[in-house]
Amino acid sequence: MRWVIVFLIFLTSNLAFSQGQLQQKLNQYKDSLPNYGIVALVDNGQKLDSASVGWASRNNEITVANRFCIGSVTKMFTATVILMLHEDGLLSLTDSIGQYLPKHAFIDSSITIKQLLSHTSGLKDIVDAKLANRAFLDPYFDYSNAYLLRLIDSVEFEKGAKYQYSNTNYFLLKMIAEKVTDKPFESILLERIINPLGLKNTFPYYAKSTPNMAHPILGSQDLHSYPKRGDNQISVGLGNIVCTATDLNTFIRALFIEKRLLKDNTLAEMCAFAELGKTKVGLGVFAEEFGGKPFIGHTGRTISYISYAFVNIETSTSWVLLCNNVNDHYIDDLAEKLFE
């Protein structure tokens, strides 16, 4: 009887996959990926299907076991940490950030932690293409907190006036988390998320020495041998986590579906989406549609990776897409067609 129930659930889910269907969807891009690859994973709670196509590095086919830098999907981890600290009474979402950060001419001290989480602070985005390129080409420069704070040299708009995505928000959230815990952010991630969930293939840093990395490809260049110290230093808390598709799926299911990380009321606050222009933004998470179906999660792009991590709460379906070429032309199309 148990197998009958599972089979019926599988049939009635409009997001279900038949055996091999995911690999078939990826195979259509097989001849279009000369030196990089894409990994996909779909999990409906009853069946997990994964597939891959292309290359992790020269002469090495990409697999679900490869590790990727997930870029801004890191922000979901950071937001979860901040909400955990809120639950523990170490901070409050309504706290003004002036309680935790040094005075700064271009940071309004009355901005709240919640406004940082929801990208409504009005702070200038300092981690732009110019800084990312410098960090990549000059990896041993000291990209300290003090240096990054000095790059905040203007205000985009008055706090709370509108939404505008800014990496600076999560740079400051990282600083706040480190102050209230008196620990480096990497240790906070290990203690609160990575170790409790048993994420054996997740690392709170980006380094070329990490084993089994899918090499970052840009055009005809393999960028794996370049030092990652600068990239890592400017993106702690906002874009430097490395993991596999399986570990990333474990995290988003634990957070949104299994509810193992946050209390119900905290998770509800995280997912209380405000419609700001064309964007539906929560606290470190976005509501989006793919293939006409609703999902919540986050995307990421960095040198040189693309990542998607989303869940559909009603069907308990999660999915992950990872690519090791930020200039890829196909993964966005795949995200739309994944559940057709």
Residue 9 has pLDDT above 90, yes or no: no
pLDDT at 18: 54
Identify whether the C-beta of residue 236 lies closer than 8 Å to the C-beta of residue 69. Answer: no
Sign of the alpha-carbon dihedral angle for 55, 60, 63, 69: negative
Look at residue 10 in the predicted model and tell me its pLDDT: 31
pLDDT for residue 20: 82
Q: In this structure, what DSSP letter does residue 324 have?
A: S
The radius of gyration computed from the CA coordinates of the chain, to the nearest angstrom, equals 20
140 touches 239 (CB < 8 A): no
End-to-end, the C-alpha distance of the chain in Å comes to: 30
* pTM for the structure as a whole: 0.94
* Average pLDDT score over residue span 47-51: 96
Q: 176-205, pLDDT tens digit by residue?
A: 999 999 999 999 999 999 999 999 999 999
In angstroms, the CA 193 to CA 313 distance is 21
Is domain 17-337 classified as CATH 3.40.50.150?
Answer: no
H or E element at residue 42: strand 37-43
State what percent of residues in the chain have pLDDT above 70. Answer: 94
State pLDDT tens for residues 286-299. 999 999 999 999 99
Which pLDDT score, from 0 to 100, does residue 327 have? 95
**Domain assignments of the chain as residue spans, ordered by start:** 17-337
- At 6, the pLDDT band (50, 70, 90 cuts) reads very low
Q: What is the mean pLDDT of residues 239-257?
A: 98
Question: Mean of the pLDDT values across residues 35-52?
Answer: 96
53-105: per-residue pLDDT in tens?
999 999 999 999 999 999 999 999 999 999 999 999 999 999 999 999 999 99
Model confidence band, residue 283 (pLDDT cutoffs 50, 70, 90): very high
User: Is the confidence at residue 135, as pLDDT, over 50?
Assistant: yes
Give the integer Cα–Cα distance in Å for 215 and 35: 10
Question: Which of 294, 325, 327, 316 shows the shortest CA–CA distance to 43?
Answer: 316
Mean pLDDT of 3-23: 49
Question: Tokens representing 142?
Answer: 């000291």
Nearest to 27 by CA among 246, 334, 335: 334
pLDDT of residue 17: 53
* pLDDT value at residue 15: 52
Query: How high is the mean pLDDT of the chain?
Result: 93
- CB 322, CB 38: distance < 8 Å: yes
Q: Give the tens place of pLDDT for each residue, 304-340.
A: 999 999 999 999 999 999 999 999 999 999 999 998 7
Residue 253, burial from CB neighbour count under 10 angstroms (0-12, 13-18, 19+): buried
